[in-house]
Structure 1
């Protein structure tokens, strides 16, 4: 996805929040903020790709502060929030076991995102209000049709905490007799899920786990490891969670690969790009 005008201020907001999490050194914060502004001056223009700029900014913050995981404490908070709502969500799924309902639950988990929504967001309230909303864009029937013919699915994970809800959807996918492989980040960036977080919530109990070979936000094709690229092209279906994966996948020549993006349109540029209202729940077929 190309940048929209609002993305510039969002990058600066994320920079401030990540710096406050990463270090207490005020002089260092000023230095890195100047570096972030330089990145934006060089890279932020019409036609630039949003997740590529975001990745460069957050890699710069990690490198210059010497903090490999500024969002470390928020990872635990996200897990706690997800586990808090899990019994209520599971009860809701017992009343409606349709694939669409499981997709809605997985999308509700997508609001566990302090990077996109900010550190002061009422994440708890957003989770339940999101799960109760219908889909603003619903390609779930197309996905179900593809699942009935598929043998394997590559599931691109997004945030920590969110993967607790992903686990429920992955169990549902197994009813279609597909083998699910979940792709996680090789190293921390923002609050994206890595291998350890997936193991902590038992994602390995329901799926094979791999990494993308990189810490890029979403998918930056040239950054992906060779082994992951092979996984990407050999799978029958790709299910991609979250904004970063949407931003990156829309810049990849997917050929005829069936790709489904599951997300909550948490920011106006994403909502505008997809064509839904802000906060809309989306199951989008890219191909």
Structure 2
């Protein structure tokens, strides 16, 4: 089912080199054996050649090569240091963020600050990116797509929310939005990854960020990059099917949701559009902040 108002996120040609860039980075972070590195890259390229086409789901394809590298290297958490750094960056900016909220405590400001956190993304940027500068430069960005009225109506109507988390570090910003959502009398359930993939938030990162203080934390049941429906655990399938109000953070979750039937669900995507394919699908410029009802 194609989501109303945007293209179904199938693969663009740019998705190929983007996934392979990430493959190289994950391999370098996972092992030092040059022979094994060559074998991993070769086999990932073969998998891409066999499965990368205009109908392939980019986040699913990226998940498959990441899972393969993890299995072959026995490196469970290649981005552990980067995740720790992401949390440090997020926390170092919190004083400035709270000053912004002192001046404007609106729902829209909380949404924008949550999206600022989506910049912390090693799936798009490399490990040498100056994230602190990037975030500081975007603290006052406006929303290019702004469905805030529909979002507030949903908050006033529903009492339960499923929040699809994205990255470590980012969830520190998400916590502020969840606190604001609680003011509407909405109970929040946060979904994180079952085990590490790139710098996505898992249970440990969610607990460390204090999300357990304001929300129930559940696992999607896999180490998928974003939402990959066929990788849901039975438990999470039940949670997702019973959720009629959903917040989706980030591009990979957005990609995955475009493959799903969202009929009778209020779903809102919050993201910073960091690549051409996502920007094309939303008809926005790269770097745009988006709050979109799907």
Q: What is the TM-score when the length of structure 2 is the normalising length?
A: 0.96
What are the superposed Cα offsets for residues 53-107 of structure 1, whole Å, 9 maximum, x if unpaired? 0000100110111101111111110011000001100110111111110000000
Structure 2 match to 1:216: 224
Say which of 110, 126, 129 aligns to 1:121.
129
Q: After TM superposition, what 4+ stretches of structure 1 lie above 6 angstroms from structure 2?
A: none
**More helix per residue: 1 or 2?**
1
What are the superposed Cα offsets for residues 161-187 of structure 1, whole Å, 9 maximum, x if unpaired? 000000000000001101000001000
Q: How does 1:166-181 map to 2 (within 5 A)?
A: 166-181=174-189
Contact 2:161 2:188 in 1 (8 A): yes
Q: Secondary structure at the match of 1:259?
A: strand
Quote the offset at 1:250 in angstroms. Answer: 0.6
Q: What is the TM-score when the length of structure 1 is the normalising length?
A: 0.98
Structure 2: 5+ residue runs without aligned partners?
1-8
Alignment: residue pair count: 286
Structure 1: 5+ residue runs without aligned partners?
none
What are the superposed Cα offsets for residues 189-214 of structure 1, whole Å, 9 maximum, x if unpaired? 01000001111111100111111011
Q: How does 1:107-146 map to 2 (within 5 A)?
A: 107-146=115-154
The question of 1:56 aligning with 2:71 is answered no
Quote the offset at 1:122 in angstroms. Answer: 1.9
Q: How does 1:243-258 map to 2 (within 5 A)?
A: 243-258=251-266
Q: Secondary structure at the match of 2:268?
A: strand
Say which of 191, 200, 205 aligns to 2:213.
205
The question of 1:158 aligning with 2:182 is answered no
Quote the offset at 1:115 in angstroms. Answer: 1.8
Structure 1 match to 2:237: 229
Q: Which has the higher contact order (CA 8 A, sep 6+)?
A: 2
Distance 1:113 1:78 in 2: 9
Q: Secondary structure at the match of 2:259?
A: coil
Contact 2:274 2:286 in 1 (8 A): yes
